[in-house]
Structure 1
Amino acid sequence: MVLHGCTQTAAVYDACSGWSRLADDCGFALLLPEQVRSNNSNLCFNWFNPADVIRDSGEALSIRQMVEHMIERCNVDRSRVFITGLSAGGAMANVMLAAYPDVFAAGAILAGLPYMAASTIPEAFDRMRGYGLPGTDALQAKIRGVFDHQGPWPRISVWHGTKDDTVVPANAMAIVEQWRGVHGSGRHPSSTKRRGSRTLQIWKNASGRRVIELHTLSGMAHGAPLDPAGGYGRSGAFFLDVGVSSTVETARAWGLGGSKLPTYSVDGIRAAAASALRWTGLIPRPRS
């Protein structure tokens, strides 16, 4: 399931993110709900409205019903249902993960916000700017209080740019803090890896299972990180070419497509570019 951001349509989000093309290539079912202006004039999912974010109520219930329809229509494995979204869609993805942890195996939150961090529109704007974010204990209590879940909790992946002035990066860490409680993870990440402009922090649970990831993109503004050169997605408003595809990386982490997913290294891209230049005659071929 893929949730678009404010002012976007499902079709625009799909075309720019590359999810449909990836689903066609790798053979998984895809669902893209779309907000309507009668619910929100800016086409934002109402991630902050108390009536829309609790289990079996409002927009959360509507989205859950869409998931159930897809499971039955497409004969989907119930243990392999995933959700992602950008901005307000990312915040709503977090809502669904918190309200329906028994439905989703994992989720990816792009430039989103913590669950139940706001309850009014003014509060929503404050939280987006980093003002008044609840503390760790309060955030974790929100997750525990929504549903008496006894099974495994969804794995969480958070993506955020360091130059995001729309939803400031403090929200990314707040999401991590919120989910550490139910996963029983320590305050500090189990490992930190740096790959180009991306820093990946990983939290594991007591059994050593990888349960929370934080992808921080240095210098990236508000949007979804993409790598159009890899064949999936295209640049546009809030779709940012930063050389790493959150779409492909998320699908790989969820085991969607297996070996069909592309793998691109810096050296591989340089080699392909050099080959293309030689083919056009712009640089000489090496003599044999």
Structure 2
Amino acid sequence: MSLINNVEFLRHLPKMNAFSGLGALAPAVPTPLVETTEFGVNPGDLKMFSFVPAQLARSPALVVVLHGCGQTAASYDLGAGWSALAAHYGFALLMPEQQAANNGNTCFNWFNPQDIARGQGEAASIRQMIAHLVGTHEIDPRRIYVTGLSAGGAMASVMLTTYPDVFAAGAIIAGLPFGVATDLREALHAMMHGSALSAPELGGLVRNASTHGGAWPKISVWHGSADRTVHPGNA
């Protein structure tokens, strides 16, 4: 499936109204996403939302989509059209959601050491959600992908780093590299100014985050050069 074909497909869907942007969604707006409350251990206290079309493709893929700050799973899905793509192409969709109790701005805690280590916190919760969907819907374990926007992009970096054995590929949209911050102050600095770490230093953080010895997931990085929220140098 090409990017051009995807854009053309979404272009013909009914248009959203002026008040249904990526970051805001009225609670009454219906969503095809279904919440699952029991999916295994949940040390990061995240919510699990998913959409599995009635007609899954043969050897179906799973796409994990992580929202940005101020968003919900449903609002990101509404703005970006992920469930429409899932129904069109026959892949399963997982959209974890942050809770305000964990982060007041509903950002994934991509900078918190307790949430970005393999087997811990939010990273472990997302991994449990993936395992649940793989087992329930016979997902092809070779076709698991992750993407995210902004803080969700940074969390996608975390997942690709801590669980490189799980993912075939990932796409980071306006995100940040793994390991550029270990607390909120450092996170804000990295967002505004980019990382002071060199490429070899960042690579070392990734390699040391797991005992992975196989092939690494393919990664696509998308970042606007005029981004005023997340410094483009983070790309």
TM-score when normalising by structure 1: 0.59
From 163, 166, 179, the counterpart of 2:226? 163
1:57 and 2:120 aligned: yes
Within a 5 Å distance, the mapping from 1:120-135 to structure 2 comes to 120-135=183-198
Within a 5 Å distance, the mapping from 1:90-129 to structure 2 comes to 90-129=153-192
Q: Where is the helix percentage greater, Structure 1 or Structure 2?
A: 1
Greater relative CO (CA pairs within 8 A, separation 6+)? 2
What secondary structure is seen at the aligned counterpart in 1 of 2:143?
A: coil
Amino acid at match of 2:67: H
Amino acid at match of 1:136: A
From 207, 210, 229, the counterpart of 1:147? 210
What secondary structure is seen at the aligned counterpart in 2 of 1:165?
A: coil
Deviation at 1:131, TM superposition (A): 4.7
Deviation at 1:150, TM superposition (A): 1.3
From 25, 28, 51, the counterpart of 2:88? 25
Structure 2 CA distance for partners of 1:73 and 1:94, relative to 1, 3 Å = same
Deviation at 1:10, TM superposition (A): 0.4
Equivalent-residue separation in structure 2 for 1:132 and 1:101 (angstroms): 22
Equivalent-residue separation in structure 2 for 1:131 and 1:53 (angstroms): 19
Deviation at 1:133, TM superposition (A): 2.6
* Structure number with larger C-alpha Rg: 1
Equivalent-residue separation in structure 1 for 2:91 and 2:194 (angstroms): 39
Can you give the 5+ residue segments of structure 1 that lack an aligned partner in the other structure?
173-288
TM-score when normalising by structure 2: 0.72
Q: Contact 2:180 / 2:197 at 8 angstroms: preserved in 1?
A: yes
Equivalent-residue separation in structure 1 for 2:194 and 2:210 (angstroms): 27
Can you give the 5+ residue segments of structure 2 that lack an aligned partner in the other structure?
1-63
What secondary structure is seen at the aligned counterpart in 2 of 1:109?
A: strand
Equivalent-residue separation in structure 1 for 2:195 and 2:134 (angstroms): 38
Give runs of ≥4 in structure 1 deviating > 6 Å: none
Equivalent-residue separation in structure 2 for 1:25 and 1:139 (angstroms): 37
Structure 2 CA distance for partners of 1:132 and 1:77, relative to 1, 3 Å = closer
Aligned residue pairs total 172
Equivalent-residue separation in structure 1 for 2:85 and 2:218 (angstroms): 21
Amino acid at match of 1:49: N
> Which residue number in structure 2 is paired with residue 79 of structure 1?
142
